[in-house]
């Protein structure tokens, strides 16, 4: 069953039930009110009867027996007048009974009149008859009959009320159908649009604009907002995955560039293929292997969190190893590379991530420095941290560009000025976060740039 049909049935059922319940309640309340009014009229009739009997008895007692039968009427069932001596002056029974036949009311009189209804009630009252001067004239005994049946005009009113309610149901049905059609159409349209949005999201197709299926129904709007948030998270996840893969690809370029420069140096006879040179080449091959392994693991296991390999690292040895890999590139550009070797300091951290940080910063220093420039690496211990400063005398970075240089794909200079993809410093920043470290930069355009790394001496292993 569709939501539209369920809505129509619900609204029609509610309308019928509400109308019937209202008719029942109103009929019961009206009947009770009418019965109360009838009893009040009965009381007024008896009071009026008492006053008329007192008046006749005061003016002409002998006339009372003649006119007395004419005075007795409903609800008086029996009336007796006694004088002061207790003798009966007049007595009358009202044998008339109101019955309804074929929707009309008739009066049956005499011995053939129908008997009293079992639920009819007879009340007896005794009144003292007095003159206008409050002198006693006699006694009046009245038996009042309270009909259990509702009077005819009350029944007619109830019947008319019920018929009017039935007539009122017709426009109520029409309004309910129109409202049900409008509401169900609105609800159905919102749900169908939401379903299409979810299907497109599931199938990876371009989702329709949420503005095209916007709704004023709070619950459906909440579902749509959740789907939009899910869509945004998936897009961010997809973009994050692309960024990670781009990072991995970018990280392979630095060791490949070092390998290429060293092999060209050996081929040209500038560098000797000795044990130290072979160690540098093997180190770069290991770096490439590590990057490819990380990329393969991330793709196979859908894993975006890097597993850290925490070990003890000698800072002078690591700096010497990294700088040696750039010796050929610095020599070709006639750049001076100065690396601090003392004092010996060791930290507990991830060797591969820290190496990638240093490789990227030295690569940028070499790339953005002019010929005959200088690049230096200095370090110092600060309480529980290690500070590494990499400075160059290159072209520098404009002040307004400094806040964005760590963003992915951001280029401080155009591709016509310097080649690159804008991922190097982004990778540096991400690696520093993984190592619980921070990085800051100071630069003056045309003078040079200084990057300062602050790393904990001991990188705690996450649980």
User: Which of left, alpha, beta for 334 (phi over 0: left; psi -120 to 50: alpha)?
Assistant: left
pTM score of the predicted model: 0.45
In contact, 390 and 451? CB cutoff 8 Å:
yes
Q: Considering only CA atoms, which of 354, 398, 386, 361 is closest in space to residue 376?
A: 361
Separation of alpha carbons 12 and 169, rounded Å = 10
Report the residue count for the chain.
Answer: 463
Separation of alpha carbons 26 and 160, rounded Å = 12
> Rounded to a whole number, what is the distance in angstroms from the first to the last CA of the chain?
52
Structure tokens that stand for 377 in this block: 């690496």
**Which residues have C-beta within 8 Å of that of residue 19, sequence separation ≥ 6?**
165, 168, 169, 172
Between the alpha carbon of residue 157 and those of residues 34, 35, 74, 102, 154, the distances in Å are 10, 13, 21, 16, 5
- In order, the DSSP letters of 149-201 are SPPHHHHHHHHHHHHHHHHHHHHHHHHHHHHHHHHHHHHHHHHHHHHHHHHHH
Structure tokens that stand for 220 in this block: 């459906």
Structure tokens that stand for 391 in this block: 């400075």
Structure tokens that stand for 129 in this block: 């008859």
Separation of alpha carbons 249 and 294, rounded Å = 11
Residue 457 has a pLDDT of 94
Helix, coil or strand: residue 385 = strand
Residue 348, beta-bridge partner list: 312, 458
Please report the domains of the chain, with CATH numbers, ordered by start residue.
3-163 (3.30.450), 234-456 (3.30.565.10)
Between the alpha carbon of residue 225 and those of residues 135, 350, 384, the distances in Å are 92, 41, 46
Largest CA distance in the chain: 163
In contact, 59 and 67? CB cutoff 8 Å:
no
**Burial of 40 (C-beta count, 10 Å sphere; 0-12/13-18/19+):** exposed
Give the CA-trace dihedral at 188, 191, 197, 203, to 10 degrees: -100
Helices 275-301 and 351-367 pack at an angle, to 10 degrees, of: 110
Residue 273 has a pLDDT of 77
Gyration radius of the chain over CA positions: 54
**Which residues have C-beta within 8 Å of that of residue 412, sequence separation ≥ 6?**
397, 398, 401, 404, 405
pLDDT tens for the chain, 463 residues: list them: 555 566 666 666 777 777 667 767 766 766 666 666 667 777 788 888 888 888 888 888 888 888 888 888 777 778 898 988 888 888 887 655 444 444 444 444 444 444 444 445 677 888 888 888 888 888 989 887 665 444 555 556 666 766 776 677 677 767 777 776 776 677 667 777 777 777 777 666 655 565 666 666 677 777 777 777 777 666 656 665 666 666 666 666 667 777 787 787 777 777 777 877 777 777 778 767 766 765 554 454 444 456 788 999 999 999 998 888 888 888 888 899 999 888 899 999 999 899 989 988 998 898 888 888 999 999 999 989 999 999 999 999 989 999 889 887 777 664 445 555 677 888 899 889 999 999 999 999 989 999 999 999 998 776 5
């Amino acid at each position: 069953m569709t939501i539209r049909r369920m809505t129509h049935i619900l609204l029609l059922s509610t309308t019928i039930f509400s109308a019937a319940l209202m008719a029942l309640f109103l009929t019961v309340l009206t009947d009770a009110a009418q019965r109360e009014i009838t009893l009040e009229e009965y009381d007024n009739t008896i009071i009026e009867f008492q006053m008329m009997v007192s008046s006749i008895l005061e003016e002409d007692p002998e006339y009372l027996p003649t006119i007395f039968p004419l005075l007795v009427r409903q609800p008086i069932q029996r009336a007796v007048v006694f004088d002061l001596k207790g003798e009966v002056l007049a007595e009358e029974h009202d044998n008339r009974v109101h019955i309804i036949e074929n929707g009309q009311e008739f009066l049956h009189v005499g011995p053939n009149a129908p008997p009293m209804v079992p639920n009819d009630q007879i009340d007896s009252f005794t009144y003292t008859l007095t003159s206008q001067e409050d002198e006693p004239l006699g006694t009046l005994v009245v038996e009042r009959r309270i009909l259990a049946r509702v009077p005819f005009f009350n029944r007619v009113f109830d019947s008319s009320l019920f018929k009017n309610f039935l007539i009122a149901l017709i426009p109520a049905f029409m309004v309910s159908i129109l409202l049900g059609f409008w509401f169900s159409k609105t609800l159905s349209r919102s749900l169908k649009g939401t379903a299409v949005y979810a299907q497109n999201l599931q199938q990876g197709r371009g989702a329709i604009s949420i503005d095209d299926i916007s709704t004023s129904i709070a619950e459906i709007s909440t579902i749509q907002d959740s789907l939009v948030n899910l869509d945004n998270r998936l897009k961010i996840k997809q973009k994050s995955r692309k960024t990670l893969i781009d990072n991995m690809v970018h990280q392979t370029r630095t060791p490949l560039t070092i390998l290429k420069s060293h092999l060209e140096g050996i081929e040209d006879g500038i560098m000797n293929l000795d044990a130290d040179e072979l160690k540098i080449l093997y180190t770069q091959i290991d770096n490439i292997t590590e990057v490819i392994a990380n990329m393969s693991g991330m793709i196979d296991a859908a894993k975006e969190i890097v597993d850290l390999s925490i070990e003890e690292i000698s800072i002078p040895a690591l700096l010497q190893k990294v700088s040696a890999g750039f010796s050929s590139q610095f020599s070709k550009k006639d750049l001076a590379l100065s690396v601090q070797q003392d004092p010996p300091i060791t930290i507990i951290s991830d060797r591969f991530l820290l190496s990638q940080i240093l490789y990227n910063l030295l690569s940028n220093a070499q790339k953005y420095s002019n010929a005959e420039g200088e690049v230096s690496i200095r370090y110092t211990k600060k309480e529980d941290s290690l500070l590494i400063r990499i400075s160059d005398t290159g072209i520098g970075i404009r002040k307004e560009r400094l806040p964005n240089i760590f963003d992915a794909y951001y280029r401080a200079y155009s591709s016509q000025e310097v080649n690159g993809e804008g991922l190097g410093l982004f990778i540096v920043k991400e690696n520093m976060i993984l190592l619980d470290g921070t990085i800051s930069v100071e630069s003056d355009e045309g003078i040079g740039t200084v990057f300062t790394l602050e790393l904990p001496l001991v990188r705690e292993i996450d649980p």
